[in-house]
Amino acid sequence: MSEATTPRFRSVLDRFVAYKPGKMVVSPDGRSFKLSSNESPLGPLPSVVEAIGRAAGRVNRYPDNACAELTEAISARQGVPADHIAVGCGSVGVTQMLLEAVGEPGAEVVYAWRSFEAYPLLVSLSGATSVQVPLRDETHDLAAMADAITERTRLVFVCNPNNPTGTAVRRAELEAFLDRVPADCLVVLDEAYREYIRDADVPDGLTLYGDRPNVAVLRTFSKAYGLAGLRIGYLVAHPAVAEAIRKTYLPFCVSSVAQAAAVASLAATDELLARVDETVKERDRVRETLLADGWTVPPTEANFVWLRLGERTMEFSAACDAQGVSVRPFAGEGARVSIGTPEENDAFLAVAAAFPHRA
Ligand code: PMP
């Protein structure tokens, strides 16, 4: 009989705590502004709610495992062939599928740090090893990332714009980087925030992957399309890559309700992108207000701003909590603040203005 008092788990789990998403806080006077998870501040459109309702009446059946109607709708919207698309349970689900496809002991995955928090967890769970390349001036150091690639590197993430700093890499530097990556190493352009980009020099990954069979583009319905609660994301890449990734799909993991909502959202793209325009205007107002107030805020192409607060990060986060404003702190580094409605943003700006940040 074994002496162990608990079941044995993989030792890699000791390095992580279970993922803690942005929380909801309430001020003493009952106010609550959730600016911690980069969601759309607005609920689904009536046409999307109707589609969800129709799909709800059929949930006794399994969903379409191939997500065929949704794949066709994405194909039509993005102008890419359907066999270039692989759908998953959120783009984080697609990230996991990618790592299932390439990760194994001895394999390395290169990405900038700090970047999206799921990368280290999912890389480790796949059995591969993370190679983190520090950001330079809050943005990807693509030259250093190219230098970090070895014959063991199977995948490189470029989060564009980067979560949590909001900074984006431009076409010339990205193309120069892609030219340096060996053909047998996948490059994943994580474009979760693509719709918020206004800098014309930041390339759309969908215009880059065509000539490059090792480049894959990640998109999500969670941000601009406002379906974070339904978990749908997708990858666009050459058919051989998309097919390999589809093999790692957890059967039926994208629900029929999610598929129906995504199809209806694609049909309402113009209305949803008009909402994105409002968020972009608010983003620029928030950043300009902070800059005028003496804060240092990197240029952002996403639906959030980044404040590098160092040792004062948790103090700032507590000041926000006290006013019912939840932000996403990274202890010792800084805070990421999502752009919400004008009222929500004003609540955050009031806390920022009262915080003695120059001290
Ligand atoms: N990539 C990046 C860069 C993100 O910031 C996020 C969400 N925070 C995701 C992927 C995952 O989004 P989802 O799984 O909701 O599609």
Alpha helix (H) residue ranges in 82-213? 90-102, 118-125, 142-147, 171-180
The backbone region for 144, taken as left when phi is positive above 0, alpha when psi lies in -120 to 50, beta otherwise, is: alpha
Q: Sorting pLDDT into bands at 50, 70 and 90, what band is 359?
A: very low
Residue 358 has what pLDDT?
A: 57
Residue type, 91: S
Which residue's CA lies nearest to atom 2 of ligand 1?
192
β-sheet bridge partners, residue 325: 33
- Is pLDDT above 60 for 1? no
- The atom of ligand 1 lying closest to the CA of 89 is 14
26 CA → ligand 1 middle, Å: 25
Stated length of the chain: 359
pLDDT one-digit tens code per residue, 302-321: 999 999 999 999 999 999 99
Mean of pLDDT values over 3-15: 87
Choose one of 38, 92, 189 to mutate for the ligand 1 pocket test, by most ligand atoms within 8 angstroms of C-beta.
92
Q: Is 53 helix (H, G, I), strand (E, B) or coil?
A: helix
Over the chain, what is the mean pLDDT? 96
Contacts of range 208-212, beta carbons closer than 8 Å, 24 or more positions apart: 208/174, 208/175, 208/178, 209/236, 209/237, 209/238, 212/178, 212/187
Choose one of 223, 235, 330 to mutate for the ligand 1 pocket test, by most ligand atoms within 8 angstroms of C-beta.
223
144 CA → ligand 1 middle, Å: 24
Pocket of ligand 1 (CB under 6 A): 38, 90-92, 116, 159, 163, 190, 192, 220, 222, 228, 233
pLDDT one-digit tens code per residue, 171-225: 999 999 999 999 999 999 999 999 999 999 999 999 999 999 999 999 999 999 9
Residue 6 has what pLDDT?
A: 85
What is the pTM for the complete model shown? 0.96
What share of the chain has pLDDT > 70, as a percent? 99
Mean of pLDDT values over 35-42: 96
Q: Is 209 helix (H, G, I), strand (E, B) or coil?
A: helix
Q: How many CA atoms lie within 13 A of 54 on its CB side?
A: 11
193 CA → ligand 1 middle, Å: 8
- The atom of ligand 1 lying closest to the CA of 228 is 15
β-sheet bridge partners, residue 305: 337
β-sheet bridge partners, residue 296: none
186 CA → ligand 1 middle, Å: 19
349 CA → ligand 1 middle, Å: 25
Residue 357 has what pLDDT?
A: 72
| Contact by Cβ (8 Å): 325, 348 | yes
| Contact by Cβ (8 Å): 158, 174 | yes
* C-alpha–C-alpha distance, residues 51 and 168, integer Å: 35
Which residue's CA lies nearest to atom 6 of ligand 1?
192
Which residue's CA lies nearest to atom 12 of ligand 1?
91
- The atom of ligand 1 lying closest to the CA of 162 is 3
71 CA → ligand 1 middle, Å: 19
Contacts of range 19-26, beta carbons closer than 8 Å, 24 or more positions apart: 19/117, 19/118, 19/121, 22/326, 22/328, 23/326, 24/326, 25/320, 25/321, 25/324, 25/325, 25/326, 26/324
| Contact by Cβ (8 Å): 308, 338 | no
| Contact by Cβ (8 Å): 142, 111 | no
155 CA → ligand 1 middle, Å: 18
2-16, 34-48, 225-239, 279-293: range with lowest mean pLDDT: 2-16
236 CA → ligand 1 middle, Å: 16
Pairing of strands 85-88, 153-159: unpaired
Which candidate, 242, 183, 182, 247, places its Cα nearest to that of 216? 242
What does each C-alpha distance from 319 to 120, 287, 332 come to in angstroms? 29, 19, 16
